[in-house]
Amino acid sequence: MIKFENVTFSRGGHTVLKEVSFFIGSNETVAVLGSSGEGKTTLLRLILRLLHPDSGRIIIDDLDITDLPEEKLAPVRKKFSIVFQDGALFDSLTVRENVAFYFREFTNYTENEIEKHVRELLGFVGVEEAIDLMPEELSGGMQRRVAIARALATRESKMFLYDEPTSDLDPLSADKICSLIKDLDGRERGFIVVTHAIPDALRLARRFMFLKNGSILFDGTKEQMLNADIPELRLFLSYWREIH
């Protein structure tokens, strides 16, 4: 589904990604690991073509989107449901209106049908009681769960993209978010989760990629990662190993 061919991206004279190549199928569960500032979120933004690469090609479902004009990108972006690090809810809309937004904009559902679907989604993520609240009235964990409910509304999407879904959350909220992501695993949609939280990555994904200095230094299974003889990766994993 997603293919990068020698993709390079720079910002402010700094090379964020350097000749990155990979292929990810629509049913795969992939964790992209790396320290802050290593280009993990940039990778997601390139997939959505919110950023334009300096060189290389980005191909989604056999369509080269590298130089696709903005007006032709909407169908490509609809293939993905994304949950941003901060939830990115509309501050001026209630929880109900946030989750209903897609249905109102892109479907012909009646208001009764929209209400039914919104309550189903909020019930699935466990926050139906917050339906009339504003985002500012929610905890960080609840905002992420509402963001997941809103992402689920885009039912024709083929893959979820999670940007640091458990960052800055207390352990209980982080556990609930991981459980939600696991519950969605296997429902004919894979996901890419970018994170520096090693325990969450190990719990969620089956394939692991490690970014360092603009390059993918590792791409493989959990067992291969934990036994890899790559100094940068061993150092990244060392703290997690010390507490386990």
What SS3 string covers 5-23? EEEEEEECCEEEEEEEEEE
Give the DSSP H/E element, type plus range, for residue 140. helix 140-152
111 and 128 co-located in one domain:
yes
Please give the single-letter amino acid code of residue 240: W
Q: How many CA atoms lie within 13 A of 215 on its CB side?
A: 6
Residue with tokens 């993918």: 216
Q: Domain range for residue 96?
A: 90-155
Measure CA of the first residue to CA of the last residue in the chain; give whole Å.
35
CA atoms 96, 101, 105, 107: torsion sign? negative
**Distance between CA atoms of 130 and 136, rounded to whole angstroms?**
11
Q: pLDDT digits over 172-218, tens only?
A: 989 999 998 988 876 678 999 999 899 999 999 999 999 999 999 99
In a domain, 84, yes or no: no
Are 27 and 99 found together in one domain? no
Longest distance between any two alpha carbons in the chain, whole Å? 57
Tell whether 31 is covered by a domain: yes
What's 51's DSSP letter?
A: S
Number of C-beta neighbours around residue 239 at 10 A? 10
Structural domain tally of the chain? 2
Boundary of a domain, candidates 155, 173, 200: 155
**Is the pTM higher than 0.75?**
yes
Same-domain status, 230 and 133: no
pLDDT in tens, the chain (244 residues): 999 999 999 999 899 999 999 999 999 999 999 998 899 999 999 999 999 999 999 999 999 999 999 999 999 999 999 998 766 789 999 999 999 999 998 899 999 999 999 999 999 999 999 999 999 999 989 999 999 999 888 877 899 999 999 988 889 989 999 998 988 876 678 999 999 899 999 999 999 999 999 999 999 999 999 999 999 999 999 977 655 5
> Length of the chain in residues, anyone?
244
